[in-house]
Amino acid sequence: MKILNIKFLAVLLLVMLTSIKSFSQIAKAEIIATGLTCSMCSNAINKQLKSMTEVDSISTDLNTNTFTVHFKENSMVQPKVLKNAVEKAGFFVGSMVLNMKIDTEKVKDNLISIDGATFVFVDTKNPISDDLASYQVMDKGFITQKEYKKISKSYSKYTTYSAENENNYHLKPIQ
């Protein structure tokens, strides 16, 4: 009888743990790096990204210099850590798109704080979704200089954007 109760409790615990929604976690990041000239350049970035404990796997498209980084479940990484890894390899981020789930109940005034980072949603014509969705990081250092100059005036309406705090990330929902 005790064995049956232990098995029942183990199954119940397993069901409860797997049914918990994983919100506000970056599942994947697509990074387009700039300044690469050869496959050895991409290898340097690949090495830096793979050295991170949160990274599960990386795929690389050498034609577009895109690094798709998949993260381990239940691990949280801030975008600045990815940017720093690319810069440590000697290159720059031209674009960063995060695929993540957002707990919409925790979003207040188009922002949410997670693990010391504040994510501010800009250009929210597309509704923020509880489902896995893509968001482009629109901050300086996460987009090209040309694009930053182009959008900086229009985004100045967001007080957090002009502050340039390294823990604030301005996310534009994309389809």
CATH number assigned to the domain covering 22-174: 3.30.70.100
Q: What is the pLDDT of residues 92-150, one digit of tens each?
A: 999 999 998 888 888 888 888 888 889 988 877 656 777 888 999 999 999 999 999 99
Instruction: Report pLDDT for 7.
Output: 54
Please compute, for residue 11, the number of CA atoms within 13 A of its CA located in the half-sphere on the CB side: 6
Q: What is the pTM of this model?
A: 0.81
| Amino acid at site 55 | V
Residue keyed to tokens 């949410």: 112
Q: Where are the domains of the chain?
A: 22-174
Q: What is the pLDDT of residues 64-98, one digit of tens each?
A: 999 999 999 888 899 999 999 999 999 999 999 99
